Amino acid sequence: MYDDDGLKPINDSDMDSLFVLPLSIIPLQTPALQSARLIKNVRLRSVVEIFSDVQTGSGQVEVEALPAMFGWPADQVHPDLMVLRRLALLPSYDVYSLRISLREHGIAVNDFAALKLSPEKSAELTRYMIMFTRPLMKMIYSGEDIQIESYDDLLKLFRDPDVKKARQRLMTMAESLNIDVFDVPRFLEDYGDTFMSLSYFRHCLDRLEPYFSACVDSLSPIRSHFQLKQNVNLMKTCDMIEEVINSMSASITGRLEVFEKRTGEMWENINQDEFRAIRTMVERYHVTIGAALCGLTVKMSAFARMFPRPNSGGPIKRADFMMTEMIQGIELIRDVEKHGVSEA
């Protein structure tokens, strides 16, 4: 469903993006690559973006074309090429998937601490974070008029509780966790990143909903067009695109709801084992959920770039886009749903 402003391509900062990896965080030998980015293109292939500008567009180079571009020796594999080949295989470049994938593949990072969302994105996710921590607030500050604007505000309350009842409840919580009451804020801070990752993925899914609706709605004129509806391959393509969008949306939603339900239950029986179990469960599916959201975000952003308004392009132009761009690589999203998210 288009809103009044139409659809806009999804553009996050590099560290907030699902499909952009700034190569400045990877220790590469080639200076020119330090300012480049590895991105997922509309066909979900990883390419090196050497430059990107509103006027000149995006300068993209296939990873295997880099030796010729930079004059690397032909008789041996350049160290940068080895790293980029491994990076190109990663299914998503969101920070939460990267933390896991880079370690699993033995890929060095200049600073692992840099793998975090921007302060702006973190602030944007506050309303989701509060959803995860509201049960905790109710347990500790029940009946008190407490205003929380960010997760940091929550931690401040636990560092210096100024309500007598809250201090007593906090001590009870510390006993359940088998830690000192002064360590509760630090404990919550450690697990705050888990809540932040859930908030991030929920945010990424929620903002895709209008794109899903607009893309699926655009298939109806294609299917009813007197000439296009005779094209069997096109009709199958439309069916697959709609099926992947609907099934992926349902699968990711279902998985996130399981996480949210389990998190809500956690506050009712607080102990360190339960916290650890939930963190492990969430981290286990970071890569699969990230991969699905990455693919969908790239596809929906490309659709918005081509058809920002309901009357942008006719059925024939949209059909061509579905056949040449949207369908390319969509099996990668479908396979994530089949082997990852749906089994989570």
CA within 13 Å, CB half, 256: 25
Q: How many residues are given for the chain? A: 344
pLDDT for res 130? 81
Mean model confidence pLDDT for the chain:
88
Rounded to 10 degrees, what is the CA torsion of 171, 173, 174, 178?
140
CB-CB contact of 115 with 93 (8 Å): no
pLDDT digits (tens, 9 = 90+) for 191-244: 788 889 999 999 999 999 999 999 999 999 999 999 999 999 999 999 999 999
Is 161 a residue whose pLDDT tops 70?
Answer: no
299, with CB counted inside 10 A (0-12, 13-18, 19+), is buried
Q: Could you tell me the residue ranges of all domains in the chain?
A: 1-11+119-344, 14-118
Contact 207, 10 (CB under 8 A): yes
Whole-structure pTM value: 0.89
Question: How far does CA 44 lie from the centroid of its chain?
Answer: 15
Is the pLDDT higher at 187 or at 33?
Answer: 33
d(CA 255, CA 151): 23
Contact yes or no for 258/129 (Cβ under 8 A)? no
> Tens digits of per-residue pLDDT, 90-141?
999 999 999 999 999 899 898 888 899 999 999 899 888 888 777 777 777 7
Instruction: State the Rg of the chain over Cα.
Output: 23
pLDDT at 225: 96
Give the per-residue pLDDT at 205: 97
* Least confident among 86-95, 167-176, 192-201, 241-250: 167-176
Distance of CA 286 to the CA centre of its chain: 9
* Cα gap 343→288, rounded to integer Å: 10
pLDDT value at residue 111:
85
Token pair listed for 193: 């990143």
Residues 6+ apart with CB under 8 A from 156: none
By percentage, how much of the chain surpasses pLDDT 70?
93
Torsion angles phi and psi, residue 20, rounded to 5: -130, 130
